[in-house]
Each structure stands twice: as C-alpha cells, then as structure tokens.
Amino acid sequence: MWTLPEPMLAAPVSDPELPPGWAAEVKWDGWRAMLSVDAGRVALRSRKGTDLAPAFPEVRSAAAQLPDATAMDGELVVWESGCLAFERLQGRLQRRAGAARLAEQWPAHFVAFDLLRVEGTDTTRWPYRRRRARLETLFAEHRLSAPWALCPSTTDAATVREWLTRWTAVGLEGVVFKRLDGLYEPSVRGWRKYKARETEEAVVGAFTGPRATPRTLLLGRYDADGRLRFIGRSTTLPQTAGRAIAPLLTPAGDDHPWTGWTFSAGWGTREPLHVTLVQPDLVVEVGVDVARDSAGRWRHPARWHRARPDLSPADTPPFA
C-alpha cells in the first residue's frame, strides 16, 4: 500500500503581499489532514500522524467519490452559523465513540489544497502549478461534493488583500504562499504563511490549580539544543476551557525537563508557585504582546485562545 508522505510545512512571514512567481491559498481555521484512498482502504491522518479516520466517519465514507490510488493534502473544517467552528473539531478525538452523532450534528469538510497522488501517479515531484491544475480537474471530472471542497488559489495580489479584509470574520486564519514552480517537499518549510490573527503557539509544561480544571498554564518552547525553556504563563483560564483541556494533559514522568524547578507565583514576587508538571506534548495557541524580558520570556501573561491537539511541539517556533 502506498504510504502518505510527511506534510510539507510553511515558515511564518510578516508581509501579507503576494511575491512574484508565487500563488496564494486561503489558510483555514481547522486541522491539517492528509488523505489517501488505495484499493478501497482509506487513510486519514493528522499532521502529527494520528489516525483521524474513526473520528471523521463522514469523510471516510465519502472517499468512495475519489478515484482509487489518490491522495490529497488539506484541512478539516466545520461550519456553524456561517462561520468556521474550530471548537467543534476538538471534541472529535476525545469522543470517538460518538463520532457518528457529532458528524451528523456538525459535519466536517475536507478542504483540499494539494495533490500528492492521482490514480497511481505520484505528483509530489510536479511543480505546484501542475499539481493545482490536476487537482482542479479531479474535482471537475468527478463532480466532488460535500464533504469535499477545493481551497481557493490565486496569483492576484488584490484578491489576497480582499481575503484578508473580508474573510477573516468567517474564520480565515491567513494565507499560505506557494512557489508556482515549487515541488511538494515533505517536512520542508518551503511554503510561507501569513497569519491575520496575532497569536502564537507554545507547549504546555505544567499547570496550576486542580487537575480537573487547571487554572493557569506554564508554557515553554524548545531551544536549538532541544531543551524545553520556560517562556511564560497564561492568564486564568475560563472554567469551560480548563475542563476541556484537562483530558488532554498527561501526568509527567520522572524525566520531565522542569523537574526540580521553582516558579514564581507572579511577576515582581519571589513567592513560589505550586505547579503540576505534565508531559510536554500539548500545543496551545495564545495571544501575546511584544514585551520580553532579558531572557527572552514573555513579560506579561499570555491570553488563552485554544488548545491545538492537532499540532506537535515541533510545530512551535524555537525559543529565541
């Protein structure tokens, strides 16, 4: 059976302008997913390699619409009241037993943005413009319908500006830029991404408060030597967020990188903070300002945004 490659990645940029020789695609507020159909077998996996097929039965069953020996890269999204509802995705991995009911209540869509294989032909060595044209033909020839959707792509800078101006209200997260002559390179950050929302990702290393409803999160990032460095603490979590994140946190083992550390209870005080260490494998998205201390840590509490169980610690920026 053909094996899905590792996903190609994007490096963050601060300039939203479309470079010459590149195309832009909408960056959706969802979960990255890769899908393949081979001899009737359907593989649907996350960016971390997690098997998503049991959690998204509506996508798995709809794979019958695709030609055999075909694979796509894309984003799983859920729409609710005309907007993307990221929180409807988070419950899928935690409640797989009820996946069929959740699929009926809030059906997911697979927004395809790249073609990896088509009818037995590996397309990863094709330039983007050729992969994109064949992906569009695939949708047209097979008249693909929900849950399949084709991600918009453009080489027009004015269209990109319109996306960033008008589409953010419904859940556009930003844009991804791809070289028109670029190949699909697994694990390589050859694409560029511009985020319309000022948020950052970090790894949860510990929390305060009760296990059932964590109160605040202690966050870290890995440095160039692979050490988890403390970068800051979150604001107090809403109780609903605390209850939702608790099942995603795994108790730490004896080898936790922060074992024996003492944390301050607050900025400007030496009072020790009582924390519970957890395995540093959950990524969360937080809002931060530009203030940093001399060690490169966030000077102010990070504003809670959401958990990102679809990402791995390797997807977070390095500590700098």
Task: State yes or no: pLDDT of 299 exceeds 70.
Answer: yes
Q: Which domain holds residue 242?
A: 200-315
Q: How far apart are CA 90 and CA 175, in angstroms?
A: 22
Helix, strand and coil in the chain, % to nearest 5: 20, 35, 45
Percent of the chain with pLDDT over 90: 69
Q: How far apart are CA 110 and CA 35, in angstroms?
A: 9
Domain boundary among 195, 229, 247: 195
Task: State yes or no: pLDDT of 272 exceeds 60.
Answer: yes
* Helices (H), ranges, 167-224: none
Q: For residue 1, is it within any domain?
A: no
CATH number at residue 277: 2.40.50.140
State how far the alpha carbon of 54 is from the alpha carbons of 90, 248, 280, in Å.
14, 18, 25
* Helices (H), ranges, 142-216: 157-166
14 and 28 inside one domain: yes
Direct distance between the N- and C-terminal alpha carbons of the chain, in angstroms, rounded to an integer: 42
Domain boundary among 195, 217, 246: 195
Tally of structural domains, the chain: 2
Domain boundary among 172, 195, 218: 195
Report residue 295's pLDDT band, with 50, 70 and 90 as the boundaries: confident
DSSP state of 78: E
17 and 59 inside one domain: yes
Q: How many helices (H) and strands (E) does the chain have?
A: 6, 20
Q: For residue 300, is it within any domain?
A: yes
298 and 167 inside one domain: no
Q: For residue 122, is it within any domain?
A: yes
Give the pLDDT of residue 273.
87
CATH number at residue 53: 3.30.470.30
State how far the alpha carbon of 189 is from the alpha carbons of 20, 54, 73, in Å.
19, 29, 15
97 and 208 inside one domain: no
Give the pLDDT of residue 54.
92
Give the pLDDT of residue 145.
95
Percent of the chain with pLDDT over 70: 96
Give the pLDDT of residue 58.
96
Give the three-state DSSP class for 162: helix
35 and 153 inside one domain: yes
pTM for this one?
0.76
> Can you tell me the mean pLDDT for 272-295?
87
Instruction: Please state the φ and ψ torsions of residue 272, each to the nearest 5 degrees.
Output: -70, 150
Tokens 């959707």: give the residue. 149
Q: For residue 2, is it within any domain?
A: no
Q: What is the set of active-site residues?
A: 27
Give the three-state DSSP class for 161: helix
Output b/e per residue, 254-274; b: 16+ Cβ within 10 A.
Answer: eebbbeeeebeeeeeeeeeee
Task: State yes or no: pLDDT of 97 exceeds 80.
Answer: no
161 and 43 inside one domain: yes
> Which range is least confidently modeled, 11-15, 39-43, 204-208, 262-266?
262-266
Q: Which two tokens stand for residue 178?
A: 């791809």
